[in-house]
Structure 1
Amino acid sequence: MNKLEAVYFDLDGTLIDTAPDFYTVLNTLLKQHGRPEVSYSAVRANVSNGARALTELGFGVGPEDAAFPPLLEQLLDAYEQHLAVDTCLFLGMAETLDWLETNGLPWGIVTNKPSRFTGPVLAGLGLAQRVGAVICPDHVKQRKPDPEGLLMAARRDGVNPAHCLYVGDHLRDIQAGQNAGMATAVAAFGYIDADDDPHGWQADYYLEQGSDLLPLLQTMNTGSTA
């Protein structure tokens, strides 16, 4: 890849840690329904798969069950009221975003999180006025691993996908980046299931922690970490 032109992030489990708020919201709802709590580790492992997975986890019902839609909507409504209470940037991401902006490199988000929640959580973290393209599933016809969202983001920011990096914590993220012709990096610090093997996803880079990203970007942008 030639000199870096832009960086795109998955949201939950990559740029920001939303598990604490999902843990609070889900267990509050479970308590209201007289259901036992679920562990933080179980919630964290399911966040990347969305509210549907968390509803199944907590209530033991699937999408085919008549009780599923109202429970899902209750969870979404509760989460909407508790979006950015304990959610925060992952370690090293604040410095990374500062560096990108200082160097005039756009950064954006391509996520499977609906815009109903993405916009408010970015605003709550003070990122809404800083981010470039933000692509949510309601903006595209095909979700990741289809490259539509990433290609849309690159067009909006006026950059060449071949000169971009996409960072994500799920196989579909890496596949989407590859399908878009972007370089890819696994956020191994994110919400990766214990049964998954991110080393087998064939990403270009592997980030053990969020603070590993900035040195990588400096290398990609200048050819050195100086």
Structure 2
Amino acid sequence: MNLEGIKGVIFDLDGTLVESSLDFSSMRETIGCPQNEDILMFVDAIECEKAKSDAHNIILQHEIEDAQNAKWLNIGRAMVEKAQQHKLPMAIVTRNCREATAIKLANNDIPIDYVLTREDAPAKPDPTALLMVASTWQLQPEDCLYVGDFIYDQQAAENAGMQWLLV
């Protein structure tokens, strides 16, 4: 991870800092979401409030179960330690719910306090959460590095005008 010129590092959570065994195919099947559609966008578009609530609860249940077993990824720990050595501010922006995120952070003693979940801002690839972090740090987006493991992470960083690293 090249930190030359970087003034702040934002990490994705699942697949970047911690392992995740979320079975999105199973979740999509359970709630009737086509396999090629974004699951969060699909649920948000459900018009029936009860059906929408039920779908959210199914996703939440899967996330909480996954959170109990999530462990640090070696590469994730190494990247956080490198950012700490450079005394850079760090944040996490995740599509996870707040509750599952808190469990993952606590169970693994992840030393990052600034965390935005899908309850705090629109989910990636929307750049809002990344721009919120840069604004809070009073940094220009191009001075921040976003590190993630999925195409949405790359798209969010590009949409925000940030540098990005796909791991």
TM-score tier by shorter-chain length is 0.7 to 0.9
Q: Which runs of 5+ in 1 are unaligned?
A: 23-42, 47-52, 188-226
Aligned residue in 2 for 1:138? 119
Identity among equivalent positions (%) equals 27
Question: 1:153 corresponds to which letter in structure 2?
Answer: V
Q: Aligned ranges for residues 66-77 of structure 1 at < 5 Å?
A: 70=54, 73-74=57-58, 76-77=60-61
Distance 2:108 2:97 in 1: 17
1:124 corresponds in structure 2 to 107
Q: Do residues 56 (structure 1) and 28 (structure 2) align?
A: yes
Query: Displacement of 1:172 after TM fit?
Result: 2.0
Task: Show the counterpart of 1:106.
Answer: 89
In structure 1, what is the Cα distance between the partners aligned to 2:144 and 2:58? 38
Choose from 156, 162, 175 the match for 2:142.
162
TM-score by length of 1: 0.57
1:203 maps to none
- Give the count of matched residue pairs: 152
Residue 5 of structure 2 corresponds to 3
Relative to the length of structure 2, the TM-score reads 0.74
Is 1:88 the counterpart of 2:60? The answer is no
**AA partner of residue 111 (structure 1):** T
- Distance in structure 1 (CA, Å) of the matches to 2:137 and 2:14: 22
Could you list the runs of 5+ residues in structure 2 that have no partner in the other structure? 34-42
RMSD: 2.8
Q: CA 1:177–1:73 in structure 2 vs 1: closer, same or farther (change >3 Å)? A: same
Please report how far the alpha carbon of residue 110 of structure 1 lies from its aligned counterpart in structure 2 after TM superposition. Answer: 1.0
